[in-house]
Amino acid sequence: MLHLLRLTLLGLFAVLLSPVLAVWDDEAFVVDWHIPQLGPLDTVLIHFDQESSTEFVTVLSKTNVLASVVDGEFVWRVQLDGHSALVKVSAHRAATVTNYKDGRGELNVWDMRTGFLLSETSFDKQIVDIEPNSGASEVAIILADGSLVKVNRALDKNFIGKLPPFDEVKVHFLGNDNVVILYKEEGTNAASYAFFDGTELKTHRLSIGYDAIVEFVGSKIITHTNKYQAISIDKKTGVASSLVTLINGDKHLPVATEDLVAFEYKRNIEVFDLHGKKQFTIPNVFKYDIQFVNGTFVMYTEYHVNIIDPEDGTEIVSYFLGDEKMPYDNIDRIIPSTNGIDTISSIIEFSDDTYALLHNTVYKWKRDYSLTDIVAQTVVHLEEDVTVVEEGIRHEEELDLLQAYLFRLTRHFEQLKSLYASLVESWPLLLKGQFPFVSTPRDEYFGFVKYLVLATRNGQIVALNTLTGQRAWTFNTGGNCIIALENVDGLIYAFTESGPRFFLDPKTGIEVEKQLLQPSNQIINLHKNKDSFLMETENLDLILSKETEDAYFVKTDEKIIAGYRVHEKDPKKTWSFDVAEDEVILGYSARDLEEKTANVGVVLGDRSVLYKYLYPNVAAFGVLNKKTGILTVNVIDTFTGSILTTQSHKNVFEADFKSVVGEHWIVYTYYSTTPTPEQKIVVIDLFESLVPNTRYSPSNSSSYTHDLPSISTQSFILPYRVKSMALTKTRFGVTTKAILVAFENNQIAYIPKPVLNSRRVVGRDLTADEKAEFLMMPYEPLIKLDDSLVLSHARSVMGADHIVSFPTNLESTTIVCTYGLDVFCTRLSPSSQFDKLTSGFDKLKMSASLVLLIMQLFSLLASTASFLALTNAAGQLQIGVLHKIDPEECTRTASARDEVQVHYTGSLKSDGTVFDSSLKRGQPISFTLGAGQVIKGWDQGIQGMCIGEKRKLTIPSELGYGARGAGGVIPPNADLVFTVELVGIKGYEKDEL
């Protein structure tokens, strides 16, 4: 008996261990991914740190991202707020200049190794140029008002003087504390320069036009009209020399030295001093790149890279790059650095939007920034391959209870083991917070695996797996600027600005067809998921459509919103909304016509109903008066152009208005200085009436005649500035909506719609009825974003200009992605998952408690002599499907009162003895289902079968012949196993169904 008890307890342990493993497998990590981006390169500083023997590449991108890269990975990244510039000020320090929209300029000093902001200072004017004097650890700055300011390492400012008004300006140190400034006089083409000798700033006009200057480095000015000439400025006196005529070369080569000038001439590189004396010649060049770096020339040819002595042109060192040529046709820029002796490290920026570090002859790393400038997106909903899942479920149904648990236990253990193995293999990525998940049949079954298809401005189309972030495919349009992506009729349509339209297979990215259209600047989808588009060209609007039905659409820009009707492929304007000269239109958004509505009203605590205003043609937009700072928010009927309601706000001077339109509400956000500088978020709820149980809308009505909504509105405060907003989408629209928000602090969060409830109770406690209303709460002006509402967590998601949401096969779950600079995707359950454990659930304690419980039970076995009576619960009918009929073929199933014909084979469960079979007789049995003509196990087990379907019925004695047995072949209290096939249903034949 003790042995039997031990086996029973082991079985219990296995039963309990299965859900434990399931929990660990399903909730090991939050499934999201992040592709951090940099963007096209602007300025690059390459620095080798002797202390750590690490090569740092500090980069400022054209997207104003400042970052340091080591071995191809970001060490740190910062997104600057305005237009910026980068200069190196010392061995480990770099300075950035940032200009803001309000006219201020800011100087920041950073540690290039750590990304720490070491110091900062600001100016009341924008900074138009900066030049470091690294020997003296200071910088010279030109402000927009012409002020020349020197700033030392301690950020002490020394105002030197002021320039006359200018249009363009450049400043240089002259190898000492003296400064020269070249500028274009305001409103003219006259070139002048200012010289600071340490005591006084003096200005001088040159005898040349500013547009003739092709190079300015320190005291060197190179000009070109019909010939190349040089001007030298004396470093001590500031006196400019007369023009010196140089060789009339085929091409001028800028070199960052004030002593030499270089030209390409008859396939040679000729280097001269500023007096026109030739220094040396590099013969027979074809494809090359030559730059002056750290006192030497660095020159790349097709097969070599060289360090060249600037005095006589001799090679200090030369490296053979390999048998493959440098791909100059695919290189946009080479940014070299060198120690001048034996080391050359260069950033190579390629035309396919990648950049790499080439160290002497070896590429150390390569990065891709092609997803930076996204101009269009669509999503591909893949057909789920559910065969593996269905086979597992079918197999489990065929097993008995113990076998099923063992099967499930084994499956969870294998899944967990596979997960841990992948985590070990991906440990380097895990240390950086990147989880490289792969899709499974379960993920596909739940609809988690889709393709997010993104198009870049330079013509690349990339499909990303929404579960893993991996590229599924890439298609290059050949540099055509893409203006729209549409997923229609099983194809992806890629519209380009220059005219070609590409048809792509959504699963592979393979080009199926290419169609040449007129150049256009906008594509409007007239019928969702149909091949029906309006193409806006330079002179007229063209309709590309296979549809003949009428369509309605809205066009908008900063000055006008207009509604159109397309009748017989002819678009006609039906209404327009224009704004005044000082006003601009902001943040237009319309209700998604595909949005599903789960209920028509809001149920109050006393069970009465506020009916929602569900008119579909609703949009919202803001109108900002730039002079008065008044923001007017309009809710409009897009069918007729009539205004449904308006809201006004004062002291709004920044055009950062965003809005979203839900099923019966509008949420918008803006930044205002009244009563204090804050980011406001406002909700407008639309109801048929604010009187409960009052409804005006008929069951069918015209878009031309409908009642105006009743308005309920409330304002809240957000803790951060907002970059973009969107709404969650789920499969059936039952799940509570949430507003997705990207903040300017690079975090992505969501706000449940019940939090933004215009009817939240103000200034008093909730009544009993109000407490009974779903998620009703007292009004609090500040929206508190706790950790559970933040989707990006520790990730810094930069440039989230767009947020999109896609439904999955689970109503509770949606996929959320952002793009703009970085690309980020995650899963969200706005109403929480029904079977999700709370964040405070301790899985370790659960597992440990289970183990301790089993150990305690076994320890008690040795000291107990009690007799444990083991009883079996009453048996239940078990049904296993042996042959399933395709649902499309099964249009009629067996139900009560049907006269059915069944083939069967019956056996004893205990030893498998066959006691009867209709197959031996060749004649199926006929009976009325559910009439008690056969045993209860048959009446229950055959219901719902399709003609031709086979089942295995395991019938307990209570549902069989019970204690009496049958015919001498079925003993009393015997459990039975029948294999049954539904041959026919009277009045229905399989070939007729």
pLDDT recorded at residue 598: 84
User: What does pLDDT average to in each consecutive run of 10 residues of the chain (993 residues)?
Assistant: 54 53 46 89 90 90 94 93 84 87 89 93 94 83 95 92 96 89 96 94 95 95 93 94 89 93 93 93 93 95 95 95 89 95 95 92 92 92 62 66 73 67 57 51 71 92 93 91 90 92 95 91 82 82 76 92 90 94 94 87 93 94 94 95 94 88 96 89 96 80 73 96 95 91 95 95 92 92 90 91 92 93 93 54 63 64 40 65 85 88 92 88 90 90 92 92 84 92 81 39
Quick one: angle between helices 401-425 and 387-398, nearest 10? 140
What sign has the CA pseudo-torsion 809, 812, 818, 823?
A: negative
From the options 3.40.50.2300, 2.60.120.10, 3.65.10.10, 3.10.50.40, give the CATH code of 878-985.
3.10.50.40
Distance CA 741, CA 681 (A): 11
- Picking from 149, 150, 222, 152, the residue whose alpha carbon sits closest to that of residue 182 is 222
Say whether 915 is catalytic.
Answer: yes
Catalytic entry in 49, 309, 916, 975:
916
**SS3 readout for 428-497:** HHHHCCCCCCCCCHHHHHCCCCEEEEEEECCCEEEEEECCCCCEEEEEECCCCCEEEEEEECCEEEEEEC
Say whether 904 is catalytic.
Answer: yes
Catalytic entry in 482, 961, 970, 985:
961
Distances (CA, A) of 247 to 223, 226, 263, 270, 292: 12, 11, 8, 9, 20
Say whether 56 is catalytic.
Answer: no
Catalytic entry in 319, 503, 915, 927:
915
- Range list of β-strands (E), 518-559: 522-525, 532-536, 541-545, 551-556
- DSSP symbols for 641-697: --EEEEEEESS--S---EEEE-SSEEEEEEEE-SSSSEEEEEEEEEES-SSTT----
Say whether 858 is catalytic.
Answer: no
Distance CA 611, CA 713 (A): 16
- Picking from 3, 17, 5, the residue whose alpha carbon sits closest to that of residue 843 is 17
What sign has the CA pseudo-torsion 638, 640, 644, 650?
A: positive
Say whether 751 is catalytic.
Answer: no
Cβ atoms 46, 347 nearer than 8 A: yes
Task: Provide the terminal-to-terminal Cα distance of the chain, rounded to the nearest Å.
Answer: 57
What strand order describes the sheet that includes 658-661? 658-661, 665-672, 678-687, 710-718
Domain boundaries, the chain: 371-384+440-517, 385-435, 524-579, 837-874, 878-985
In the chain, the amino acid numbered 945 is M
- Picking from 749, 918, 919, 719, the residue whose alpha carbon sits closest to that of residue 818 is 749
- Gyration radius from the chain CA atoms: 38
Distances (CA, A) of 783 to 9, 751, 817, 892: 51, 8, 23, 55
Quick one: DSSP state of residue 18?
H
Distances (CA, A) of 881 to 371, 395, 399, 408, 798: 49, 9, 11, 18, 52
Catalytic entry in 221, 935, 942, 947:
935
**Which residues, in sequence order, are CB contacts of 770 under 8 Å at separation 6+?**
605, 761, 776
pLDDT recorded at residue 426: 55
| CA atoms within 13 A of residue 982's CA, in its CB half-sphere | 34
pLDDT recorded at residue 48: 87
Distance CA 990, CA 993 (A): 5
Distance CA 930, CA 844 (A): 50
Say whether 961 is catalytic.
Answer: yes
- Picking from 3, 135, 8, 12, the residue whose alpha carbon sits closest to that of residue 850 is 12
- CATH number of the structural domain 371-384+440-517: 2.40.128.630
Cβ atoms 233, 243 nearer than 8 A: no
Distance CA 143, CA 181 (A): 12
- Picking from 599, 579, 597, 598, the residue whose alpha carbon sits closest to that of residue 588 is 579
pLDDT recorded at residue 394: 63
Give, for 945, the enclosing helix (H) or strand (E): none
The pTM score is 0.75
Catalytic entry in 127, 300, 904, 947:
904
pLDDT recorded at residue 416: 65
Distance CA 409, CA 929 (A): 38
